[in-house]
Chains A and B, each alone.
Chain A
Amino acid sequence: MPEKIRIIVNEDKCYLCGGCAGVCPALAIRVSSSRWEFFPDKCISCRICVSTCPVGALSAEPLEGES
């Protein structure tokens, strides 16, 4: 099992293009015209969204020690 993570967006860098939502295998990201949303319970910690973002606006942070 990969380390359980949470995805963080840098809102100043994000263009709300929706690409991260498109590559997410688990529908854990929703991008509306004004907002980027993350659903931690759906995330499978694959980090595909992080490497896909054309501008590097996403990062992953460990969820350890929280529940």
Chain B
Amino acid sequence: MKYDVVVVGAGIAGPIVARNVAKEGYSVLLIDKKSAIGAPKQCAEGINITVFEKYDIPYDKRFINREIYGAKLYSPSGYELELRYNDVSGVILERKVFDKMLAFYAARAGADVLVRTEAVDVIRENGAIKGIRAKHEGEPIEIYADVIVAADGVESTIARKAGINTYAPPHEFDSSYEYEMLIEGFDPDMIHLWFGNEIAPRGYVWVFPKDEDRANVGIGINSDNPKTAKYYLDKWLKENNIPAKKLLEINVGVVPVGGIVKELAKDNVVVVGDAARQVNPMHGGGMAEAMEAGTIASKWIVKALEEENLELLKNYTKEWWEKDGKRLERVLKVRKVVEKLTDEDLDVFIQVLSGADAEKIAGGDYLEVIKALLKHPKVLMSPRRIALLKELL
């Protein structure tokens, strides 16, 4: 079979690219190795409310579990930091519906979609990549395409087989483990995050409510930690006397939190989303980043096809790095400082920061916040804290 574009992976980035390119009249095939798009997921399902309008996604109640009005952060000793809005600031999705609907929008825009289809390798002819070899329900198929989009998640197999360097050291990944479970006692209109070196080394524990008494309860820790994510989550639940007896789902995954791929397009192959390590290194969320990358990638794929000039795909690398890459590199710098904080430091910072400050820091827009922090007495007393903060200036 032959298409203008083949997209490998129907998570977030893949369907966005497939939809946008198909909409312009080009032939697109979107494949996914799973038999049901969206499941299993590797995600806590929280996303900012702004993405629906920004990326032209319907605000459809079928995939919105709950509207959220802010976040509460907890320090190791129990200090709290609250960021509450009057209006809805985010939602907790149902990925198994959301991802499927994104693929549906792509199909509706003209793309073909094939599930239970695993990309195995690229097809090389005379040194050039002509498409991919895949298996559909076990039967080998060859898919020829002018442009190959590697949106195949953390494994990043197709980009690597195409010679794009997506390697990142083990410290640049988080291991995560999550229950969807019944849980009570937490404000169900807020997301909740717990920090601490004993609680969740390098990461945090989260409660993302999907109902008044049902939530995604999960954890992310540095993947080079000798203990498992599951160990730390079960320990936290036990220490907080939260019964884990009504478990509806278990989801596990590995999340890139650094090591963003430098070269996002090589010849006729482009890499997007987790496969390109386009994830917020501070909180490990990558859905909005995947939408942004998918939008920029699809714009340049369309231009390259229009002008029959695949060199134009390189503009995706350039534009993405100018728009989102720079920001994520700043967030990565914050992550590298935050992971050096002791539990006492975390207590201090959660006490002295406002919710809005924390939001700016996680979003990469932190210069003013850091400057203000450097004048705070609790920071001034500690040369080590000053040194850490100055790494961000």
- Whether A54 lies near B252 (C-beta < 8 A) is yes
Q: How extensive is the interface on chain B, given as a class?
A: 35 or more
- Whether B118 lies near A54 (C-beta < 8 A) is no
Interface: A30 (CB within 8 A): yes
Tally of chain A residues near chain B (CB < 8 A): 22
What is the minimal beta-carbon distance from B257 to any residue of chain A, in angstroms?
Answer: 12
- Whether B155 lies near A18 (C-beta < 8 A) is yes
Interface: A63 (CB within 8 A): no
B176: contacting residue among A20, A30, A54, A56, CB under 8 A: A54
What is the minimal beta-carbon distance from B71 to any residue of chain A, in angstroms?
Answer: 24
Interface: B204 (CB within 8 A): no
- Whether A22 lies near B254 (C-beta < 8 A) is yes
Complex interface: chain A residues within 8 A of B229 (CB): 54-55
Closest to B115 in A: A33
Known contacts A18-B154, A19-B173: A27-B160 contact under CB 8 Å: yes
- Whether B118 lies near A32 (C-beta < 8 A) is yes
- Whether A17 lies near B252 (C-beta < 8 A) is yes
- Whether B160 lies near A18 (C-beta < 8 A) is no
Complex interface: chain B residues within 8 A of A19 (CB): 42, 154, 173, 175, 223, 252-254
- Whether B155 lies near A22 (C-beta < 8 A) is yes
- Whether B254 lies near A54 (C-beta < 8 A) is yes
Q: How far is the CA of A63 from the CA of B334 in the complex (A)?
A: 42
Q: How far is the CA of A12 from the CA of B231 in the complex (A)?
A: 17
Closest to A27 in B: B160
Q: How far is the CA of A16 from the CA of B40 in the complex (A)?
A: 9
What is the minimal beta-carbon distance from B151 to any residue of chain A, in angstroms?
Answer: 13
- Whether A52 lies near B173 (C-beta < 8 A) is yes
Interface: B153 (CB within 8 A): yes
Complex interface: chain B residues within 8 A of A56 (CB): 228, 230-231
Q: How far is the CA of A36 from the CA of B385 in the complex (A)?
A: 45
Complex interface: chain A residues within 8 A of B173 (CB): 19, 22-23, 52
B153: contacting residue among A22, A48, A54, A55, CB under 8 A: A22
Q: Mark B216-232, 1 if CB is under 8 A from A, else 0.
A: 00000001111011110
- Whether B252 lies near A55 (C-beta < 8 A) is yes
- Whether A17 lies near B170 (C-beta < 8 A) is no
- Whether A52 lies near B175 (C-beta < 8 A) is yes
B230: contacting residue among A17, A22, A23, A54, CB under 8 A: A54
- Whether A21 lies near B228 (C-beta < 8 A) is no
Q: How far is the CA of A55 from the CA of B223 in the complex (A)?
A: 11
Q: Mark A44-67, 1 if CB is under 8 A from B, else 0.
A: 000010011111100000000000
Instruction: Point out residues on A near B: beta carbons under 8 Å.
Output: 15-23, 25, 27, 30-33, 48, 51-56
Contact sample, A vs B, 29 pairs, CB 8 Å cutoff: A15-B251, A16-B40, A17-B42, A18-B153, A19-B42, A19-B173, A19-B252, A19-B253, A20-B254, A22-B153, A22-B154, A22-B156, A22-B254, A23-B173, A25-B167, A27-B160, A32-B33, A32-B118, A33-B33, A48-B224, A51-B170, A51-B223, A51-B226, A52-B175, A52-B254, A54-B228, A54-B253, A55-B230, A56-B228
